Amino acid sequence: MNDPFKQAERPRKVLVAEEEAEGRLDAWLAATLGGEFSRSRIKSLIEQGAVRHKGVVCTEPKRKVAAGDQVEIILPEPEDPEPKGEDIPLEVLYEDSDVIVISKPAGLVVHPGAGNWTGTLVNALIHHCRDSLSGIGGVRRPGIVHRLDKDTSGVLVAAKNDAAHRHLAAQFADHGRTGPLERAYQAVVWGRPKQLRGTIDAPLGRSGDRTKRAVKREASGDAREAVTHYEVLERFLEKPDATALASLIECQLETGRTHQIRVHMAHIGCPLIGDPDYSAGFRTKVNLLPEPAKSTVRDFGRQALHAYLLAFEHPRTGDVMTFTAPVPKDMQHLIDALQQGDDAL
């Protein structure tokens, strides 16, 4: 086997095991490097011959480490990213060496995929961050820990290195149950929930269409827990019987399933205005609206959903960071038109 240390020009790091050192080489290195690389990435580097243990190249991740052992590792340069960066404008709310927070516009796909291999947020972040991306899994790319649907706008955070990626991913997996993670959305929906404040606890799974989701029985094989808390902020075109043609609501997620708010609001009879997938049965309601609300709703080309608030613990400092973004112009125009409809009554 070729010894990469003989021709290596990449940075090296020499480590000496402390008195309490014990256990596998890969686990010890991952802990000693302070989360700079994941254990799986360290294991891969060892197997590639990028680690010397007591002066000898070691390709066995499970080799035992003892007090006083000297370990040398070649630190890999991150590989060039796939996909490629693209100069797409971004509204950056915050950025440092670990994270970047942006306000995503409606219409921007987060991650490349079938039918959207270019022009995505990931392409934009690769171009914007350039060399400040130290690599996720050895590749110079941003770490996406949560997503917003293409036509949902709002605040989104991405990691710029492995350690930040793992820390943020753990927070989102916990859904804020034991930590400070908080996600809040504003939505304009048809009708008005029966209760002005409530919780929708309804498992979600795939519907007949693989791109859609539906409320499922808990016994269903693909049913996954989904909990949404909501509060009605404003009612539009309210009638004497306390019903309303539309409402502005705030939703807070306790879980983060695909299309969760969209499906849950449709489940209680209040689908999002403009939602092409879950509000088909409400399209004729536009005829009940006075102008200018009627024309504005008819022309509104996406689901009226905006992720206006995101709070999380910074992966390096431990500080709780909170970011907000006002609803975009198209959604504000929709709200204004509905308010004017109230005035016309």
The predicted structure's pLDDT at residue 56: 87
Do 3 and 49 contact (CB within 8 A), yes or no?
A: yes
Active site residue 149: yes
Residue 327 region by backbone torsions, left for phi larger than 0, else alpha for psi between -120 and 50, else beta: beta
Catalytic residue (one of 26, 98, 149, 162): 149
Quote the pLDDT of residue 331. Answer: 97
Between residues 15 and 97, which one has the greater pLDDT? 97
What was the pLDDT predicted at 81? 55
The domain locations on the chain are 12-74, 92-174, 182-344
Q: Of 15, 57, 54, 51, which is closest to residue 33 (Cα–Cα)? A: 15
Q: What is the band of 128 on the pLDDT scale with cuts at 50, 70, 90?
A: very high
Q: What is the pLDDT of residues 38-69, one digit of tens each?
A: 777 788 888 888 888 888 888 898 988 888 88
- Model confidence pLDDT, tens digit, residues 5-29: 555 545 567 677 776 667 888 888 8
Question: What does the alpha-carbon distance between residue 315 and residue 175 come to, in Å, rounded to a whole number?
Answer: 16
Nearest Cα residue to 119 out of 129, 127, 109: 109
Q: Which residue has the higher pLDDT, 30 or 174?
A: 174
Whether residue 236 is predicted with pLDDT greater than 60 in this model: the reply is: yes
Both tokens of 249, joined, read 């609501």
Do 92-174 and 182-344 show the same overall fold? yes
Region 239-253: mean pLDDT is: 88
Residue 240, pLDDT above cutoff 80:
no
pLDDT band at residue 136 using 50, 70 and 90 as cut-offs: low
Domain 182-344 CATH (choose: 3.10.580.10, 3.55.50.30, 3.30.2350.10, 3.30.310.80):
3.30.2350.10
103: tokens are 């306000």
Grade residue 243 by pLDDT with cuts at 50, 70 and 90. Answer: confident
The confidence score (pLDDT) of residue 131 equals 81
Give residue 4's pLDDT. 54
Q: What is the pLDDT of residues 267-307, one digit of tens each?
A: 999 999 999 999 988 888 999 999 999 999 999 999 999 99
Distance CA 74, CA 162 (A): 17
| Distance of alpha carbon 132 from alpha carbon 180, whole angstroms | 26
pLDDT surpasses 80 at 318: yes
Phi and psi, residue 127, nearest 5°: -70, -45
Nearest Cα residue to 152 out of 343, 306, 325: 306
The pLDDT, as a whole number, for residue 41 is 78
| The CATH number of domain 12-74, selected from 3.90.870.10, 1.10.645.10, 3.40.190.10, 3.10.290.10 | 3.10.290.10
- The pLDDT of residue 40 is 79
| Torsional sign, CA 57, 62, 68, 74 | positive
Cα radius of gyration (the chain): 25
Contact between residue 312 and residue 208 where contact means Cβ atoms under 8 Å apart:
no
Residue 93 has pLDDT above 90, yes or no: yes
Res. 78 pLDDT band, cuts 50 70 90: low
pLDDT at 115: 62
E strand residue ranges, the chain: 12-16, 51-53, 56-57, 70-74, 92-95, 99-104, 143-144, 153-159, 182-190, 197-201, 204-206, 213-215, 227-238, 244-253, 305-313, 320-324
Q: Is 80 exceeded by the pLDDT of residue 144?
A: yes
247, pLDDT greater than 70: yes
User: What's the pLDDT at 54?
Assistant: 86
Residues 258/264/265/267 CA torsion (nearest 10 deg): 130
Superfamily of domain 92-174: Pseudouridine synthase (3.30.2350.10)
Omega before 292 within 30 of 0, i.e. cis: yes
The whole-chain average pLDDT of the chain stands at 87
Q: What is the pLDDT of residue 320?
A: 97
The pLDDT-based confidence of 221 (bands split at 50, 70, 90) is confident
Q: What is the pLDDT of residue 149?
A: 94
Task: Provide, rounded to the nearest whole percent, the portion of the chain with pLDDT above 70.
Answer: 88
B/e letters for 23-54, b = 16+ CB within 10 Å, e = fewer, are ebbbbbbbebbebbbbbebbbbbbeebbbbbe
Query: Which residues, at least 6 apart from 132, have a Cβ–Cβ distance to it below 8 Å?
Result: 97, 160
* 101-118 pLDDT, tens digit each: 999 999 999 987 666 678
> In the predicted model, is pLDDT for residue 95 greater than 60?
yes
pTM summary value: 0.77
